[in-house]
Chain A
Amino acid sequence: MHRRTFAALVSALLLGSALTACGSDDDGGATGDNTGVTLTMLMGVNNIYPEQQRQWFTEISGKFQQETGATVRFETFASANDELTKIQTSVVAGQGPDVYALGTTFTPTAYATGAFVELQKDDWDKVGGRDRFLPATLGISGPDEQHEVGIPFASRPFVMAYNKDLLTAAGIDKPADSWDGLRDQAKQLTKDSTYGLAIGYADGFDPWKFIWAMTTQAGTPVVKDGKAALDGPNTKLAYQSYLGWLATDKVVDPAAVGWKNAQAIAAFGEGKAAFLPMVSASSKVTLDKSAVAGKYAYAVMPTIPPGATALPAGGVAATSILSGDNVVVAKYSKHKDLSLALVKLLTSEESQTSYYKTFGELPTNQAAAKALGGDPALAAIVDSAGKSVNTPFTGAWGQVQLALTNVVVQSIPDLSAGKVDDGKLTGLLGQAQSTAQGALDKAK
């Protein structure tokens, strides 16, 4: 059977490469003879452009083979959960993909396992030099410059989409730059069957980003120097604002308690909401096919925290979390130099520009980013990329993130009834605080 033969061939190839590389750390080097060697790279699946992604895999493998003689085999993961599971099973077994493309927020967790190569000066040179990257994108490569594991690969900052027509009809010029101001604008825009904001309260990943943004802007980030601040007044205010949009301000569709990010996009796409915060450039594809095509634009999200009219002292004007993909190389890989060569290929100006053109993800390569400058539709997104701030670099971040999301999940029943119970919120925040602090204390 054709398929069986193919599977046998692949297995034989892998086996062959494993045997030949066995015992030695050096392969033919990035320029030596590497025929028969196959690198494995793990990447997130692109559900918006699945066909193009498969094509891109073949192209890269072909280019790499031309350069070094080795080919690249791509494996994909579907969601953040799968990503984490894959990292764990590979780390514990000491075998798996050579190169991983990780979401930036998971780089600290990967670092904590100690299973990924820390880039020294010559390693950085092997990927084309550290200064070929946009400085902002290096923010989550490691706890400090001496211990970096992540090489920035793609940039996916978060922005807000807004319906130009709805805003003009209400006489609003542009979205407010403070969360309170946005809420007031949303109130103006909520009438008939349209709402001011489209929010996915049931999404597994969105809610904590709002809380993080608001508290960072207020100068009291949720984690600082190994200390969690989930039970502080600013955190509570952040949750009250976020939950209040639906419960008390009534500027969000009541059905949003069950919405994931995708449904919020759908609502905006039908023209039923004026503002759609916390989306990335990947929403462009869906929105351009929807009823609001041509009637919407992107803007950066508010940078002034709730309860204030100007950025407080100590506050950081973060427009988004530092979001995108970092590439890391596994320590157990038998082809380190080759892997670095692959990374060099992926982060070259040429590859980055074509990657952007195919998938709409912003480049991290400085030269490519500069060349991009002109596209007006992307102005806000590029702007947000430059003003992104990284989430705390700690191995416990996964647990902190889960604790933040959990507060929202457990508040949803009350939210659906139209209220934000103060006592219950305080209780939930207290629990979240002890979980987060416990995880941070265990961090080594």
Chain B
Amino acid sequence: MRRSEEVARLLPGPLRAVVLTVLLLVVLGPLAYMFLASVSSDLAVARGALWPDGFHIDNYARIWSTTNLGRGLVNSVLIAGAVAVVSAFVALLSAYVLVRYAFRGRVAVLRGLLALQSIPGTLLLLPVFVLFASAATALGVTIIGTRWAVLITYLTFALPFSTWVMVTYLRELPPELDEAARVDGASPWRVLTRVIAPLSWPGLVVSGVFAFLLGWNDVLFASVLTNPDSRTAAVELQIFGASQEGGALPVYGQLMAAALVCAVPVVALYLVFQRYLVAGLTTGGVR
């Protein structure tokens, strides 16, 4: 164990230390400033002071009443969570078909998946809204303003990347596994759920986490498709920030505090899953 580790070493110790220190400083610098600003007085931040002039930790308490951050966070967790789980699953289905079954236009679909990622959000915003509104009138239900609207939208936007990840991952699984299970009399569905899914666990995690990130961070679509009850935390934060621009001094302290609070869940998620993430992005992680 020792020997192979030493052999596999990529960088000499001191150099590694230097590189990491620089990177950590670069990353943590602005983050530290965010934290300092969140406990400063608003005038101090407006003046550009680095150190807080007092420890205003009460900013963290005030944000819950100044904005609807609490409900926003709940909505975000529900929506992003659902998107993560469902998109990973749907991606698995699509990827399985794309990898295991040869059909005409397969490469086109694969290319299309990457192409879909190049479509800008601002292009689709108004048409999606119109679509949902028309569907709502035709079906007699309200779509816009409910959590379903953003859920469906995020799910669809997350799918290309998720499917792509699953395709790359499933490619590494030898087809013999499927055949072995099939020989035993299992239906395609069983093969998928009993054999493939458990093995592609890291890939599913990656899909899920990236989908969660998309659902958590999006502002453009959420701001248009939600109403005050179904707003996500990202929208609440954006509204909070935008509403501070006119008239009085912005409550910088609370803004930074709210921003940090919104970022904590995703960062925590990454902390928990970072091991799987790296493994899941590996082609050939099964070996």
Interface positions of A (Cβ within 8 A of B): 3, 6-7, 10-11, 14-15, 18-19, 45, 47-48, 50-51, 75-76, 78-79, 81-82, 85, 88-89, 92-95, 204-205, 260-263, 265-266, 269-270, 279-280, 282-283, 285-286
B136 within 8 A of A: yes
B247 within 8 A of A: yes
Among residues 185 to 230 in chain B, which have CB atoms less than 8 Å away from a CB atom of chain A? Answer: 223-224, 227-230
With contacts A18-B142, A263-B46 taken as known, whether A78 is within 8 angstroms of B228 at the C-beta atoms is: no
B93-135 CB mask vs A (1 if < 8 Å, else 0) is 0000000000000000000000000000000001001101110
Q: How far is the CA of A48 from the CA of B246 in the complex (A)?
A: 10
Q: How far is the CA of A425 from the CA of B133 in the complex (A)?
A: 45
Contacts of A279 in B (CB 8 A): 247
Pick from B129, B132, B238, B246: contact of A47, CB under 8 Å: B246
25 contacts between A and B (CB under 8 A): A11-B142, A47-B246, A47-B247, A47-B248, A48-B248, A50-B67, A75-B227, A78-B239, A78-B240, A78-B241, A78-B243, A81-B242, A88-B126, A92-B130, A93-B134, A94-B133, A95-B144, A262-B249, A263-B46, A263-B249, A265-B247, A266-B46, A280-B247, A282-B247, A286-B248
Interface of B is mostly: helix
Pick from A3, A45, A270: contact of B74, CB under 8 Å: A3
Q: Smallest Cβ distance from B74 to chain A, in angstroms?
A: 7
Would you call B248 and A85 a contact (CB within 8 A)?
no
Question: Of all chain B residues, which has the CB nearest A282?
Answer: B247
B4 within 8 A of A: no
Q: How far is the CA of A79 from the CA of B242 in the complex (A)?
A: 6
Would you call B247 and A266 a contact (CB within 8 A)?
no
With contacts A50-B66, A93-B144, A95-B136 taken as known, whether A79 is within 8 angstroms of B43 at the C-beta atoms is: no
Among residues 35 to 89 in chain B, which have CB atoms less than 8 Å away from a CB atom of chain A? Answer: 43, 46-47, 65-67, 71, 74
Pick from B67, B126, B142, B229: contact of A15, CB under 8 Å: B142
Q: Smallest Cβ distance from B79 to chain A, in angstroms?
A: 12
B137 within 8 A of A: yes
Q: Smallest Cβ distance from A56 to chain B, in angstroms?
A: 15
Chain B contact patch, size range: 35 or more
Would you call B247 and A82 a contact (CB within 8 A)?
no
Contacts of A75 in B (CB 8 A): 227-228
Interface of A is mostly: helix
With contacts A79-B246, A92-B126, A93-B144 taken as known, whether A266 is within 8 angstroms of B238 at the C-beta atoms is: no
Pick from A47, A94, A270: contact of B244, CB under 8 Å: A47
B8 within 8 A of A: no
Q: How far is the CA of A136 from the CA of B172 in the complex (A)?
A: 74
Would you call A262 and B250 a contact (CB within 8 A)?
yes
Q: Smallest Cβ distance from A1 to chain B, in angstroms?
A: 9
Contacts of B238 in A (CB 8 A): 78
Q: Smallest Cβ distance from A180 to chain B, in angstroms?
A: 28
B245 within 8 A of A: yes
Contacts of A45 in B (CB 8 A): 239, 243
Q: Smallest Cβ distance from B232 to chain A, in angstroms?
A: 14
Q: Smallest Cβ distance from A103 to chain B, in angstroms?
A: 10
Q: Which 5 A-B pairs have the closest CB atoms?
A: A93-B133, A78-B242, A78-B239, A78-B243, A79-B242
Contacts of B223 in A (CB 8 A): 82, 85
B30 within 8 A of A: no
With contacts A93-B133, A95-B137, A262-B250 taken as known, whether A7 is within 8 angstroms of B239 at the C-beta atoms is: no
B153 within 8 A of A: no
Contacts of B246 in A (CB 8 A): 47, 79, 205, 261-262
Question: Of all chain A residues, which has the CB nearest B74?
Answer: A3
B146 within 8 A of A: yes
Q: How far is the CA of A261 from the CA of B178 in the complex (A)?
A: 66
Contacts of B227 in A (CB 8 A): 75
B27 within 8 A of A: no
Q: Smallest Cβ distance from B218 to chain A, in angstroms?
A: 15
Q: Smallest Cβ distance from B279 to chain A, in angstroms?
A: 34
Q: How far is the CA of A6 from the CA of B134 in the complex (A)?
A: 26
12 more A-B contacts (CB under 8 A) besides A47-B243, A262-B248, A269-B43?
A10-B229, A11-B142, A76-B228, A78-B239, A78-B243, A81-B242, A93-B129, A262-B245, A265-B248, A269-B249, A283-B247, A286-B249
Pick from A18, A76, A282: contact of B248, CB under 8 Å: A282
Contacts of A81 in B (CB 8 A): 242
B141 within 8 A of A: yes
Residue of B129, B144, B248 ringed by the most chain A CB atoms within 10 A: B248
B14 within 8 A of A: no
Pick from A95, A266, A283: contact of B43, CB under 8 Å: A266
Q: How far is the CA of A89 from the CA of B224 in the complex (A)?
A: 8
Contacts of A261 in B (CB 8 A): 245-247
Contacts of A205 in B (CB 8 A): 246
Q: How far is the CA of A94 from the CA of B238 in the complex (A)?
A: 26
Contacts of A78 in B (CB 8 A): 238-243
Would you call A262 and B43 a contact (CB within 8 A)?
no
B233-272 CB mask vs A (1 if < 8 Å, else 0) is 0000011111111111110000000000000000000000
Q: How far is the CA of A377 from the CA of B247 in the complex (A)?
A: 18
Contacts of B242 in A (CB 8 A): 78-79, 81-82
B12 within 8 A of A: no
B174 within 8 A of A: no
Pick from A85, A95, A265: contact of B224, CB under 8 Å: A85
Residue of A11, A18, A261 ringed by the most chain B CB atoms within 10 A: A11
B29 within 8 A of A: no
Q: How far is the CA of A10 from the CA of B146 in the complex (A)?
A: 10
Q: How far is the CA of A321 from the CA of B230 in the complex (A)?
A: 37
Question: Of all chain A residues, which has the CB nearest B229?
Answer: A7
Would you call A89 and B129 a contact (CB within 8 A)?
yes
B140 within 8 A of A: yes
Q: How far is the CA of A89 from the CA of B208 in the complex (A)?
A: 31
Question: Of all chain B residues, which has the CB nearest A92?
Answer: B130
Contacts of A3 in B (CB 8 A): 71, 74
Q: How far is the CA of A248 from the CA of B43 in the complex (A)?
A: 28
Q: Smallest Cβ distance from A144 to chain B, in angstroms?
A: 30
Contacts of A269 in B (CB 8 A): 43, 249
Question: Of all chain B residues, which has the CB nearest A93?
Answer: B133
Residue of B74, B130, B137, B245 ringed by the most chain A CB atoms within 10 A: B245
